[in-house]
Structure 1
C-alpha cells in the first residue's frame, strides 16, 4: 500500500527539507535592522535627550524636589511657628539664603534657613485641623463619617483657594514663576493659627472670636512679608507699580478673614 502511494507520487517534486538561504534577503534584512537600530535609535535618543532638557529647564521652574520641603528639625519647627504666629516679632531678614549648585541658583533647605518654605508644618497643621474639627463635631452632636469627610474636603478646598489666590496675585504682580510647592507651603501655613483657634473654640466661643481675628492678621502680615520678598527677588519693575502692588497685597491680607472664618466654622 505504502509502495503504491510512493510510486504514484514519483513525478511530484517534494519541497526541500533545508531550503537554501536567500543572500539578497539577508542583506536587505541586515541593512534594515541596522537602520532601525542605528538611525531610529539615535533619533529616539535625541528626542529623549531634548525632552529631559525641556523638563529640567522649564518644569523645574514650577516644581521642586519634594524632599527639599521635609528637611526640618525641632529647632526649625519651633522658630518657624514663631514667625507664622508672631510675624511682627521677627527681627531678622525675610530673604532666603542662596546656595549655588552646578552653576544654577538654588536655596538652602529649611533646616538651614528659617525663611525657606516647608511642607511638614502645613501637613501637620492640616491633620490637626481635621482632628480638632472632628472632635468639635462630636461635642456638637453632629459627628459622623460623612460630616468628617465633608470637613476634610472643605479644608482641602480652602487650601486650594489660598493657593489660587497667591498664584493669581503673583501673576498680577508680574512674578508667576514661583515653584508651585512653595506656594502650596505658604498657603498651608494658614492651618497653623486656624487649628489653635478651633482648639480655643472647643473650650470657649469667646476665646475663639478673639483669637480668630488675631491669627487672620498674623497670617496676613506673614504672607505680605513673604510675597514682597518674592517680588523684590524676581520683579525688577517693583518701584514702577508700587501702589498697585500695595493694593493687591492689602487685598490678599484682607482675604484671610473670610477664608479663616469659613474654615473655622466647623459643622456648617
Structure 2
C-alpha cells in the first residue's frame, strides 16, 4: 500500500536546514577577511606607533641608562674632586662631543670628567643613609622606623633638587636636557652630605664648618655646570634672568643641605 504519510512534508522525514546562497557565502567570506585584515593592520599600526612613541620619549627624557654607569676608578676620584672642590677645577666645564651615526653625541663619563654619571649619586645616597643611621645609633635613637624616614627624606630631597634644576630650565624656555642628567646633577649633593655627617660622627663641632663648605661647593658646582652645559641649549636672551636663577640655585643649597644634614628624628622617639 502506498503510504501518504511519507509524502507529507515535515512528517516522518527530517527537514534539512536552509543553506545560504552562493552570494551569501561570498559576502560572508569577503567581509570576515576584510574585518580580520583591517583589524590586524589597525592593531599593528597602533602597536607600532605606540612603540615608536614610547621609544622616542624614553630616548628624550631618560636617554641611555647604561651611559651613566660607564665609569672607572680614575673618573670617580677626579669627579669627587670637582664636586667637593670646584674652585680647584682649572679645566673647562663643557662636555666633549663626538660624531655618532651622523650626529653629535656626548662622550661617556669614562672619557669626560664633565659628563654626568649615576654611579657616584647612588653610592653617595646609600652611604648617606648608612652614616645617618650610624649617627642615630651613637645618639641612642636608632630604630627601623627612623632609618626608613631618613631614606624617604633623602629621596624627597633628591627629588626637590631635580625639580629645582628642571623648573629652572623650563622657565628659560629650555628643558630638552635628558631627565637622567638632572637626576645625576641633583644626586651629587649627597657627596657633600656624607662628608658633613661623617665629620659630625668624628668630631661634632666640625659639622658646623663642613656643612657651609659643602653647600658653597655644591652651589658653585651647579652654577658652573648649569651655565656651561645645560643653559647652552636655552634660546633665551635675557642674561639677567640667567644670573638670578643661577644665584637662586646656589642659595637653595643651604636650606636643602641643612634639612638633609639634620639626622635627628625626635618626633619618632
Q: Same fold (TM over 0.5)?
A: yes
More displaced 10-residue stretch of structure 1: 46-55 or 123-132: 46-55
> Post-superposition shift, 1:21?
8.3
> Post-superposition shift, 1:174?
2.1
Partner residue, 1:66 = 65
1:221 lines up with 2:204 in the alignment: no
The correspondence of residues 139-150 of structure 1 with structure 2, limited to 5 A, is: 139-150=138-149
> Post-superposition shift, 1:217?
0.7
Note closer, same or farther for the CA distance 1:102–1:33 as it changes in structure 2 (3 Å cut): farther
Structure 1 unaligned blocks of 5 or more: 1-9
For normalisation by structure 1, the TM-score amounts to: 0.87
1:260 lines up with 2:254 in the alignment: no
The correspondence of residues 106-117 of structure 1 with structure 2, limited to 5 A, is: 106-117=105-116
> Post-superposition shift, 1:23?
4.9
> Post-superposition shift, 1:149?
0.6
Query: Partners in 2 of 1:220 and 1:149 — Cα distance?
Result: 28
Query: Partners in 2 of 1:105 and 1:44 — Cα distance?
Result: 36
More displaced 10-residue stretch of structure 1: 223-232 or 42-51: 42-51
> Post-superposition shift, 1:19?
9.5
Partner residue, 2:6 = none
Partner residue, 1:241 = 238
> Is the CA contact (8 Å cut-off) linking 1:84 and 1:222 kept in structure 2?
yes
The correspondence of residues 8-157 of structure 1 with structure 2, limited to 5 A, is: 11-14=11-14, 23-157=22-156
Secondary structure of the structure 2 residue equivalent to 1:100: strand
Secondary structure of the structure 1 residue equivalent to 2:41: helix
Query: Partners in 1 of 2:94 and 2:35 — Cα distance?
Result: 54
How many residues are matched? 256
Secondary structure of the structure 2 residue equivalent to 1:49: helix
**Over aligned residue pairs, what C-alpha RMSD do you find?**
2.2
Structure 2 unaligned blocks of 5 or more: 1-9
> Is the CA contact (8 Å cut-off) linking 1:151 and 1:267 kept in structure 2?
no
